[in-house]
Structure 1
Amino acid sequence: MSRLAGRTHTGENGQSSKARVLDVTGIGFGAANLALAVALHESRAAGQALFLEKQEEFGWHRGMLIEGSSLQVSFLKDIATMRNPTSDFGFLSYLQEKGRLVDFINQHTLLPSRVEYHDYLQWAADRLRHLVEYGVEATGVRPVAEAGEVVALDVLAGDRVVARTRNLVIASGLRPRLPEGVETGERVWHSSQLLHRVPAFDERPPRRVVVVGAGQSAAEVAGHLMERYPQAEVCAVFARYGYSVADSSPFANRVFDPAAVDDFYFAPPEVKQAILRYHGGTNYAVVDADVLHGLYRRQYEQKVTGTPRLRLMNASRLVSVEQRADTAAVHVEFLPTGEITDLDADLVVLATGYQSADPAELLGGVADALRRDAAGQLLIGRDYRLSTNADFRCGIYVQGATEATHGIASTLLSMVAVRAGEIAQSVIGRRCDPDRAAGSKATAGNRG
């Protein structure tokens, strides 16, 4: 029997009867909600918590765990250390348990490999396995009312109630962003699927591959495909004139400091936009210096040997892709002149980034209780809680989809530990303060 059955009893009409009411239910169990589970566990508040994950097992960007690729953030910004430096869920505790602490130190680096960081997250997730139900995709919520107030939420998977909770934390992760008008298929897919899909081409290696995008993933994919298929031409298509190096300078990195979230959150809208514009080079459409220089060296060496295989189609955009039985017809426009180049490709990889899932997609059942600003955007408090009507006693928190309100670190690893601690303390504080839970104190905490 599923452990969910022991948590919620559902009648024939889909309504929960005498359901156990959880303090916290998390939607998604990636790095963000894993960090929250750790924070709740260490606050001794995890006994009434449950996390629902649609994957059948823990997985973090598995399709991009390219051998030799490194994390882009210090290991000290793991899922626990910046909140609690003594946590035994920190990366150093993981290394010690695995017997690799000395070996890691001898590397003289702050950046673990992406493969190792996935193993670290898996290690932490396994220790909290009792708090997670895998293979469950939440599709919506339904209010539970008493005396005219919404006191709980039923979390739905289809027409089945899988949890009843006082607080909901949505961390649905990122979704691949695709160029307008381009559809995925057998030979056209997003970079997030790289290691899942590319083995199908190993038996008959591609002669030409098109990689669309100018960021870290695009550069890593181009390098990986050149190494994997030594005879293939790799065409890199991007609108910039050249790959741009990521701004990882100490001063620029302060935009990822915990204090920067307060500065951003309470800033006027025009200042928010300016900060995002000024510091986009820390994260968007940029490449780490070592990856960028390695790719350039490889291209230069190919010129020396007379076997050019990396074709940079800069200042260009993907116009369209026509998928055929054995190839894909790719049309690329050179922006300075408008000239169109037609490419017959065996494979097209769209390394075109991600976008946060819209939390409102899950919240149709309580849409009338959610407060919005003049532009129709959800109002989100500094504690990541959605602003709701006064008769709504439940807390709904959002992880990830908060860049417009909380800054550029919202979708990155830099803030997961600190943010998890803030959400955990907000949940615990509301549980201990009935007036706050009822909404009388919510106004100050939910300034939009």
Structure 2
Amino acid sequence: MSDELGPGAVTADVVGIGFGPANLALAIALEDRSRTGAVTARFFEKQAEFGWHRGMLIDGATMQVPFLKDLVTPREPTSRFGFLSYLHAKRRMMDFINRKSFFPLRTEFHDYLCWAAEQFADRVDYGSEVVELRPVKDADGVTRSVDVDVRRQGALSTVRTRAVVLASGLEPVLPAGVEAADRVWHSSELLYQAEKAATGEPQAFVVVGAGQSAAEAVGFLHDRFPQAEVHAVFARYGFSVADDSSFANQVFDPVALDQYFDAPPEVKEMLFDYHANTNYSVVDDDLIRDLYDRVYREGLSGTRRLHVHRVSRVRGHSSGADDVRVDIEFLLTGAVTTVRADAVVYATGYRPGDPLALLGDLGGGCLRDERGRLRVGRDYRVQTTEDVKVGIFLQGSTEHSHGISSSLLSNTAVRAGEIAEALEACR
């Protein structure tokens, strides 16, 4: 396919792999910068349409970040792609103001993302999976461009570019030895699987995990199936509150990222550990209070549906035709309780997709640190050997270099602007 394109041919300045919030923010940043020099971009997304955590769009659930940390405002408050512009376009500005909250409903923020994505429909190919990146070397053996092979409805096509931006998102994680099945779910599929379960008369669910997704799943199942018991299982004594205090939130500020990037490795690890409770295995205080109140009220009524298995773990489970039997170990004594459930839900988080899996032969020219991780510059460009001139940028998979905000919305707008500026140098 490379020969068909002709030597040195370039059909797009940049190819974006994945089109979730990260590369959507990049598309916006490139559009906002078009006055300083147009960069042609093409994006490829495996999903058939734009979507962001659709399986967890629980009615009434709110965002954990304020609306000002949208796709663009921290970078360019006057951009027409901000959340306030969305509200104005939908004629819901005053309704939102009267709600008196900085935190949009999750379904509302998803609608904002879809609204923004629709404005770039001519630059995105949905239902298209990037299957391979193939270096294109010149007569001197230098890789200055890359062929991106894309599969769509069984057919392969190729785009040649001088830069790629990998934003393939997060992958759901299940514990070792656990595989998804009809009665074994990851929380990312919660709404879809719950609708299937609703065709019967489920009697019980087990939810494993101590973070926001786990707590939301517990509350959702408890509401959605008023006849069913819900068992929450986690190793802590109770759900821990997320630290969203003003000082702690400064760890997500751009200046903090600059400082983190230049810090010694041991200081980076220290900061990451100190502030993990801003995001990992923690729950909003309002939700914790709500779940505790449910347990309290059921204790008063004598009708217990919500069971909290603290300091516990799932030792194993076995699925039958009509149920899944879950063995829950109380870690303080080793006692095991077996719960018969209609499904077990693992809210056990996500991990970044492996960028090396897509880079293929191009990965051989990427530099790594002493722990085998990709070396990434401050502008999110992967550092390469001298014979690789293709720009390779990462949106995600950079926690080791850029800190805790790597996979979060908090820094999306600023990061996209920095990458857009760097891409102009790759033209």
Q: Same fold (TM over 0.5)?
A: yes
Distance 2:196 2:215 in 1: 21
TM-superposed CA distance for 1:367, in Å, is 2.1
Match of 1:438 in 2: none
Aligned AA for 1:78? D
Q: 360, 363, 372: which is aligned to 2:368?
A: 372
Aligned AA for 1:153? V
Deviations along 1:260-304, one digit per CA (max 9) or x if unpaired, are 111111111111111111001100111101111111111111111
Is residue 26 of structure 2 the alignment partner of residue 36 of structure 1? yes
TM-superposed CA distance for 1:319, in Å, is 1.6
Is residue 20 of structure 2 the alignment partner of residue 24 of structure 1? no
Match of 2:47 in 1: 55
Distance 2:60 2:128 in 1: 33
Distance 2:158 2:297 in 1: 57
Is residue 81 of structure 2 the alignment partner of residue 85 of structure 1? no
Match of 2:105 in 1: 113
Match of 2:169 in 1: 173
CA separation of 1:183 and 1:107: change in aligned 2, threshold 3 A: same
CA separation of 1:15 and 1:313: change in aligned 2, threshold 3 A: farther
Give me the identity figure in percent: 53
Q: 301, 304, 324: which is aligned to 2:300?
A: 304
Aligned AA for 1:40? L
User: Do the aligned partners of 2:10 and 2:162 also contact (CA within 8 Å) in 1?
Assistant: no
Distance 1:377 1:348 in 2: 34
TM-superposed CA distance for 1:224, in Å, is 0.6
Match of 1:152 in 2: 145
Structure 2: runs of 5+ lacking an equivalent: none
Is residue 327 of structure 2 the alignment partner of residue 331 of structure 1? yes
Aligned AA for 1:32? A
Distance 1:20 1:383 in 2: 23
Distance 1:105 1:162 in 2: 47
User: Do the aligned partners of 2:14 and 2:39 also contact (CA within 8 Å) in 1?
Assistant: no
TM-superposed CA distance for 1:46, in Å, is 5.5
3-state SS of the aligned residue for 1:125?
helix
3-state SS of the aligned residue for 1:200?
helix
Comparing 107-116 and 46-55, the one that deviates more: 46-55
TM-superposed CA distance for 1:20, in Å, is 4.0
TM-superposed CA distance for 1:17, in Å, is 3.9
TM-superposed CA distance for 1:25, in Å, is 0.5
Match of 2:209 in 1: 213
Runs of 4+ in 1 over 2 A off after TM superposition: 14-21, 157-162
Is residue 194 of structure 2 the alignment partner of residue 198 of structure 1? yes
Q: 176, 180, 186: which is aligned to 1:184?
A: 180
Is residue 235 of structure 2 the alignment partner of residue 260 of structure 1? no
User: Do the aligned partners of 1:21 and 1:166 also contact (CA within 8 Å) in 2?
Assistant: no
Q: 273, 276, 279: which is aligned to 1:280?
A: 276
TM-superposed CA distance for 1:160, in Å, is 3.1
TM-superposed CA distance for 1:130, in Å, is 0.9
Is residue 118 of structure 2 the alignment partner of residue 126 of structure 1? yes
CA separation of 1:211 and 1:268: change in aligned 2, threshold 3 A: same
3-state SS of the aligned residue for 1:155?
strand
Distance 2:234 2:420 in 1: 41
Distance 2:177 2:339 in 1: 18
Number of equivalenced pairs: 420
Distance 2:209 2:201 in 1: 22
User: Do the aligned partners of 1:402 and 1:410 also contact (CA within 8 Å) in 2?
Assistant: yes
Distance 2:389 2:4 in 1: 20
Q: CA RMSD in A?
A: 1.4
Distance 1:166 1:53 in 2: 19
User: Do the aligned partners of 1:21 and 1:152 also contact (CA within 8 Å) in 2?
Assistant: no
3-state SS of the aligned residue for 1:29?
coil
Query: What is the TM-score of this pair, normalised by structure 1?
Result: 0.91
Distance 2:64 2:395 in 1: 20
